Amino acid sequence: MTPSSKPNHVDAGWRFDNSYGRLPAAFYARLNPVPVRTPKLVVFNAALAHALGLDPDVLKGDEGAAVFAGNRIPGGAEPLAQAYAGHQFGFFTMLGDGRAILLGEQVTPRGERVDIQFKGSGRTPFSRQGDGRAALGPMLREYIISEALHALGIPTTRSLAVVTTGEQVFRETALAGAILTRTAASHIRVGTFEYAAARGNTDELRALADYTIQRHFPDLSADDNPYLALLEAVMARQASLVAQWMLVGFIHGVMNTDNMALGGETIDYGPCAFMDAYDPNTVFSSIDHNGRYAYGRQPQIAQWNLARFAETLLPLIHEDSQEAISMATTAVSGFADTFRQDWLSGMRTKLGLQNQEADDHALVQDLLACMQRHGADFTNTFRDLASGSLPEASIFQTQDFKQWFERWQARLKRQPDSLEVSCRLMNTHNPAIIPRNHRVEEALAAAVERADYAVMQNLLDYLGTPFQDPPEEAGYHLPAPPSAQPYRTFCGT
Ligand code: AMP
Ligand code: MG
């Protein structure tokens, strides 16, 4: 056997092409992840690995532990930390990957370009006071919730692997350290543009904008004004994304501009959580004292973030700054309508409606108001509506709900398709299972405290098919018992 035909046991299928590293040098710092003491692969997403063109059999053992810990850099990778800025709770700051490293862009068998990024991989030039590390619990939490969103059909970064590092990280107490490998269409954020604009170098800004167009919206390069078209296209993706969050009761929790990805994926799972009882004021994040990122404010905040994005593009949109402002303002003010259309169309589907009537918005709003008055569970109320026979307890017995129900039934009859078709539509769009906060915590506790990953795996299995009813006795569909403490989530942990 000649050397070249010898099987290469460590060819895991990496095919890197690192286009981000061809941007002007101001956009990143090149460095390798900081190696860790004793890496151990504790969670591995074999299905995702396969879709990326990676060989799960090669990566599931020690090779995966070494690679996903950053201890072994696969051939073709050109690791870097990305520079960016962002408005955090309304205030502008220079940021950057303080604990993340972009390993490179994997080109998949389908020709897609996917960022492979480590989170918790050590200090970088952007770490500020941080230790560059991550604790196991929050990395597992990101794994569970990002994979749940993916299964719900919502654009999101994904989770490929979690390794424990064998090192401790110090937060309020000493915790097990871990690294998450996440994948993304890209990590270009509103904050990346804010960084470019803050540097005041129009050539760099244009290079970033051209790169973003090429990577995410290649059709726009032929547009008369590609940068205005970029703004509009990013807005459309964000409107659709936030509408999809709203339709499943997802609260991102920290919609800072550095956590808004221009490719339109959900990114940065810190204090996010799903709402149980419907209340637009719901906030889980321990630091969101004013409810800036409450469930019901998400569309407005998305628009606010897009206005920050629009500001960065002004010098590219038109040479006359007044003209540029006027064009960008018109574009951004269109967000509310686009969002409302996406949301209403999703709500129609949730209610089994396939045609449109002028009163549909009011029909939905009246249901939501009724749910809020009675503290009804968001997920289960919609799921139960499709069941035909309504459950005995709770909201379904109230007078105001019964009146609404009659209206809805009458409305359902005013469309061409049968009730069976409507039911099927509802059952394929109203999830039976979401990552309930207490079930996520239960899975994390088993993994972190007892190294028992079976609870998490079981939860992930059910979350992977969210439109199938889980077995009743498993209780995955139930909200937390009323005795449970109010749920709190944390950033940057
Ligand atoms: P996040 O809240 O995760 O969006 O992070 C906001 C900023 O803080 C980003 O620039 C992160 O890279 C940085 N950051 C968060 N945690 C750490 C840490 N442990 N060490 C260094 N930087 C961090
Ligand atoms: Mg972030």
Please indicate whether residue 252, judged by its CB atom, sits closer than 6 Å to ligand 1. Answer: no
Pick the residue whose CA is nearest to atom 11 on ligand 1.
98
Picking from 187, 219, 248, the residue at the C-terminal end of a domain is: 187
- Claim to verify: residue 176 and residue 254 sit in the same structural domain: no
In a domain, 40, yes or no: yes
Query: Which runs of consecutive H residues, i.e. helices, occur in 273-390?
Result: 298-317, 321-333, 335-350, 360-374, 378-385
Please indicate whether residue 81, judged by its CB atom, sits closer than 6 Å to ligand 1. Answer: no
- Claim to verify: residue 26 and residue 101 sit in the same structural domain: yes
Pick the residue whose CA is nearest to atom 5 on ligand 1.
492
* Nearest C-alpha neighbor of 367 from the set 422, 405, 413: 405
Given the CA of residue 132, which atom of ligand 1 is nearest to it? 20
**Distances, alpha carbon 250 to alpha carbons 184, 240, 257, 274, in Å:** 19, 14, 18, 5
Given the CA of residue 169, which atom of ligand 1 is nearest to it? 19
Kindly provide the b/e burial profile for residues 33-62, where b requires at least 16 CB atoms within 10 angstroms of the residue's own CB. Answer: bbebeebbbbbbbeebbebbbbbbebbeee
- Claim to verify: residue 481 and residue 389 sit in the same structural domain: yes
- Claim to verify: residue 214 and residue 338 sit in the same structural domain: yes
At 486 the pLDDT is 84
Structural domain boundaries enclosing 130: 19-187
258 noted as active-site residue: yes
Please indicate whether residue 268, judged by its CB atom, sits closer than 6 Å to ligand 1. Answer: yes
Please indicate whether residue 97, judged by its CB atom, sits closer than 6 Å to ligand 1. Answer: yes
In a domain, 450, yes or no: no
Distance from the alpha carbon of residue 368 to the mean position of ligand 1, in angstroms:
36
At 1 the pLDDT is 38
- Claim to verify: residue 230 and residue 310 sit in the same structural domain: yes
State the pairing for strand pair 174-184/158-170. antiparallel
Length of the chain counted residue by residue: 493
Element (H, E) at 6: none
In a domain, 405, yes or no: yes
Residue carrying the six token digits 């800036």: 292
Pick the residue whose CA is nearest to atom 7 on ligand 1.
95
Give the model's confidence band at 387: pLDDT under 50 very low, under 70 low, under 90 confident, else very high.
confident
At 49 the pLDDT is 98
Instruction: Inform me whether the pLDDT recorded for 265 exceeds 50.
Output: yes
In a domain, 442, yes or no: no
**Distances, alpha carbon 249 to alpha carbons 19, 100, 206, 301, 339, in Å:** 36, 29, 37, 16, 16
- Claim to verify: residue 214 and residue 141 sit in the same structural domain: no
Instruction: Inform me whether the pLDDT recorded for 463 exceeds 80.
Output: yes
- Claim to verify: residue 274 and residue 352 sit in the same structural domain: yes
Ligand index nearest the alpha carbon of residue 490: 1
Pick the residue whose CA is nearest to atom 17 on ligand 1.
130
In a domain, 453, yes or no: no
Give the model's confidence band at 240: pLDDT under 50 very low, under 70 low, under 90 confident, else very high.
very high
In a domain, 10, yes or no: no
Which burial class, exposed, middle or buried, applies to 198 when counting CB atoms under 10 A from its CB (0-12, 13-18, 19+)? middle
Pick the residue whose CA is nearest to atom 12 on ligand 1.
98
- Claim to verify: residue 139 and residue 249 sit in the same structural domain: no
94-146 pLDDT, tens digit each: 999 999 999 999 999 999 999 999 999 999 999 999 999 999 999 999 999 99
Q: Are 199 and 89 in contact (CB under 8 A)?
A: no
- Claim to verify: residue 251 and residue 116 sit in the same structural domain: no
- 320-327: average pLDDT: 98
Please indicate whether residue 334, judged by its CB atom, sits closer than 6 Å to ligand 1. Answer: no
Distance from the alpha carbon of residue 492 to the mean position of ligand 1, in angstroms:
6
- 264-272: average pLDDT: 96
Residue carrying the six token digits 């005013």: 414
CA angle 454, 460, 466 (to 5 degrees): 145
Among residues 258, 276, 377, 384, the one annotated as catalytic is 258
In a domain, 5, yes or no: no
Joined tokens for residue 231: 């703004």
Instruction: Inform me whether the pLDDT recorded for 6 exceeds 80.
Output: no
- Claim to verify: residue 169 and residue 312 sit in the same structural domain: no
Q: How many domains does the chain have?
A: 2
Pick the residue whose CA is nearest to atom 16 on ligand 1.
492
pTM, entire model: 0.96
At 2 the pLDDT is 41
Picking from 187, 214, 235, the residue at the C-terminal end of a domain is: 187
SS3 content of the chain, % helix, strand, coil (to 5): 45, 15, 40
Instruction: Inform me whether the pLDDT recorded for 466 exceeds 50.
Output: yes
- Claim to verify: residue 209 and residue 302 sit in the same structural domain: yes
In a domain, 356, yes or no: yes
**Residue type (1 letter), 305:** N
DSSP 86: E
192-219 pLDDT, tens digit each: 999 999 999 999 999 999 999 999 999 9
Separation of alpha carbons 352 and 329, rounded Å: 36
Backbone angles phi, psi at 340, to 5 degrees: -60, -40
Please indicate whether residue 95, judged by its CB atom, sits closer than 6 Å to ligand 1. Answer: yes
Give residues with Cβ within 8 angstroms of 96, minimum separation 6: 29, 81, 82, 83, 84, 124, 125, 126, 195
Given the CA of residue 134, which atom of ligand 1 is nearest to it? 19
CA angle 286, 292, 295 (to 5 degrees): 85
The fraction of the chain above a pLDDT of 70, given in percent, is 97
Given the CA of residue 88, which atom of ligand 1 is nearest to it? 6
Mean pLDDT, the chain, integer: 95
Pocket mutation for ligand 1, best pick of 95, 99, 288 (most atoms within 8 Å of C-beta):
99
Picking from 187, 214, 233, the residue at the C-terminal end of a domain is: 187
At 493 the pLDDT is 64
At 4 the pLDDT is 42
- Claim to verify: residue 280 and residue 372 sit in the same structural domain: yes
Distance from the alpha carbon of residue 87 to the mean position of ligand 2, in angstroms:
11
Of 8-22, 254-268, 444-458, which gets the smallest average pLDDT?
8-22
Pocket mutation for ligand 1, best pick of 95, 146, 189, 192 (most atoms within 8 Å of C-beta):
95
Give the model's confidence band at 7: pLDDT under 50 very low, under 70 low, under 90 confident, else very high.
very low
Separation of alpha carbons 91 and 97, rounded Å: 18
